[in-house]
Structure 1
Amino acid sequence: MENVFIYRYTVLGSKKISNLIFAIFIFLGSIFFLKASIFSFLDLKTNSLNGNIVFFPQGLVMGFYSLLGLLFTFYSLLTFFLKIGFGYNEFNKKENVIRIFRWGFPGKNRRIEACYSINDIKSIKISSNTGPKNISISLKGDIDIPFIREGFSDSFSNIEEQAIDIASFLGIPLVYNQ
């Protein structure tokens, strides 16, 4: 790593296969709820073990849940295909800058980019308090900028290795905050 001046890795954000599979399961469940709601409204018998469902209130509530499920599926697929949260973290020794880039929702602020000078970095901090563990850049002036969170892209051990690589690449200390 002596002659390497740029360390860059991608962050998947919402563009993960698990999000797509989850959206498909929610969609299928919503379709079955919608079917049950329509059948109860039309007073048709279903071939299920539950027998006939009364439209008010069970069928109506199932229709409402199916609508919510379909809206959630639409939102999940939209964030997946628009690559919301997808981006990269770049540590550039040549330009002496750290660049954190993410894609947001369409509009004038779709491109989210934050740049910081490497000289302003005090340390790389690993927080392992209760809740999700994250890795942040600690800047001078006690400002912490989180850029990797456990479960968001990888397991904590892989994220920890990545933090060690970043700290050794930049030549700054790695701090464990418990």
Structure 2
Amino acid sequence: MTASTTQRENRVIRQPIVGSRRFSNYWWAIVVSLGATGFFLAGLSSYTQVNLLPIGDATQLIFIPQGVAMGFYGVAGLLLALYLWLVILLDVGGGYNEFNKESGRVQIFRWGFPGKNRRIEFSCRLQDVQSIRVDIKEGLNPKRALYLRVKDRREIPLTRVGQPISLSELEDQGAELARFLGVPLEGL
């Protein structure tokens, strides 16, 4: 949601939100896939007594208990890798925020998990927007997020989940949005 990713015209701001298609998710999906495949092949090699690994000799493992444990960890890891790849493929959490003065509407859209609630949409009138709230929590698990506060006291998250954005970027985004909507910026 920086100036390069925010499409700003005179009357419309559209902010794309990166969901699960982040570099870190690709990295972990690849690492887990490779590691789990290695564990699974090691367990299978100890059972069949045929070396299926390109590095090392897994036929030296005794099937019970080492081969069974390696096979179990391999299957569990492959299931986790499958989950990670599906989340990336479905782009869970991805979407956009659109603030449109021409239509007088705010539209928040995100992709969710498959099912009846796959499309997560929120829409309201610009007049119903009460403020933009900044939420900053430092510490071991820092949280930095922007929220759209609506008059019925609901708070709709505007920033992506995961890596916290820098403080200056968060302040700039909040101030730009509050200025565009003509509402106060809270929480600073």
Counterpart residue number, 2:20 = 14
Q: Give the drift of 1:175.
A: 1.0
Letter in structure 1 aligned against 2:109: F
Cα distance in 2 for partners of 1:20, 1:99 equals 29
- In the alignment, structure 1 segments of 5+ residues that lack a partner are none
Counterpart residue number, 1:101 = 109
> How many pairs does the alignment contain?
176
Letter in structure 2 aligned against 1:73: A
**What is the aligned counterpart of 2:146 among 107, 121, 135?**
135
Counterpart residue number, 1:118 = 126
Residue correspondence of structure 1 range 15-94 to structure 2 within 5 A: 15-43=21-49, 48=56, 52-94=60-102
The answer on whether the counterparts of 2:19 and 2:160 sit within 8 Å (CA) in structure 1 is: no
Change over 3 Å in CA distance of 1:116–1:106 after alignment to 2: same
Alpha-carbon displacement from aligned partner over 1:5-55 (angstroms, at most 9, x marks no partner): 110110111122331222111100011111221222235678649994333
CA RMSD of aligned residues (A): 2.8
Cα distance in 1 for partners of 2:9, 2:84 equals 42
- The yes-or-no answer on 1:161 pairing with 2:172 is yes
**TM-score, L = length of structure 2:** 0.79
**54-63 or 41-50: which moved more?**
41-50
Change over 3 Å in CA distance of 1:93–1:152 after alignment to 2: farther
Q: Give the drift of 1:75.
A: 1.6
Q: Percent of counterpart pairs with the same letter?
A: 38
Letter in structure 2 aligned against 1:119: Q
**TM-score, L = length of structure 1:** 0.83
Cα distance in 2 for partners of 1:3, 1:42 equals 65
| Matched position secondary structure for 1:169 | helix
| Matched position secondary structure for 2:187 | strand
- In the alignment, structure 2 segments of 5+ residues that lack a partner are 1-7
The answer on whether the counterparts of 1:120 and 1:140 sit within 8 Å (CA) in structure 2 is: yes
